[in-house]
Amino acid sequence: MELFSLEFFSALLTIVFIDLILAGDNAIVIGLAARNLPKHQQKQAVIWGTVGAVGIRAVATMLVVYLLDIPWLLLAGGILLLWIAYKLLVDDANHGDNIKAGNTLWQSVRTIIIADAAMGLDNVIAVAGAAHGDYLLVVLGLIISIPIVVWGSTLFIKLIGRFPWIVYVGSAVLAYTAAKMITHEQKIASFFDANELFRWSFMILIVIIIIASGLWKNNASAKRAAERSRETH
């Protein structure tokens, strides 16, 4: 990918948006891990915990970028990312149930780093897929994600609460990234390269399927919840 080209900035923007849309878990982890600290230490825990977590994530993402060159792994990663895009729409589980608050600054920092590493698989795969093997994009995207996670994630959660459609946009970006990964799988890339119209039709269809599946699942869940509410009253 040519440096600072339109394709480069498009991929970088995608990575930053992925970091934003998946930042909710990070905000939850940070808030829970640092909640017992004095006010003057909470900001330090947020900063150092996030820097440590992003550092580990950078190494993991670069490793995944390298591994995606292995035959069929790009396809497998794309399929896994599709599942993540779907789960983003329908998963209502509380990811913070097992996050224990630290009583000291470094306990909180350690908790943030460990929890983020355990929960960061979706981000790692998504960023690796969006970077298309460009390590500079990985590094830039993760550097940009530090202030996003530290200062922007909590605000972004509030925005999602006010404008739920943002989650659907984020899921669409993840689905598009996943579809692009699949079409770039070296074992089947020639099939898509032969027909550009088919490639774009495939990617658009994948995005539509993921969004439609999420809408159907959420509508079904809402109807069941409404029925239970009527039965209890």
Chain segment 112-130, per-residue pLDDT in tens: 777 666 666 677 888 888 8
Average pLDDT over the chain, rounded to whole?
Answer: 79
161 in a structural domain = yes
CA distances from 56 to 49, 63, 109, 117, 139 (A): 11, 11, 13, 7, 12
Span 83-110, pLDDT tens digits: 888 987 886 544 445 555 667 878 878 8
Q: What's residue 158's pLDDT?
A: 66
Neighbours of 232 (CB within 10 A): 6
> Beta-carbon neighbour count of residue 80 at 10 Å?
17
Does pLDDT of 73 surpass 60? yes
Are 181 and 202 in contact by the 8 Å Cβ rule? The answer is: no
Give a yes or no: residue 130 inside a domain.
Answer: yes
SS3 91: coil
Asked if residue 160 belongs to a domain, the reply is: yes
In a domain, 1, yes or no: no
> How high is the pLDDT of residue 6?
83
194 located within any domain: yes
**How do residues 143-173 score in pLDDT, each as one tens digit?**
777 676 666 555 665 677 788 788 888 889 8
Range of the domain at 222: 6-232
First-to-last C-alpha distance (Å) of the chain: 60
| pTM confidence score | 0.72
Residue 59 banded pLDDT, cuts 50, 70, 90: confident
Total of domains in the chain: 1
Please classify residue 39 by burial: count the beta carbons closer than 10 Å to its beta carbon, then call 0-12 exposed, 13-18 middle and 19+ buried. exposed
**How far is Cα 75 from Cα 184, in angstroms, rounded to an integer?**
8
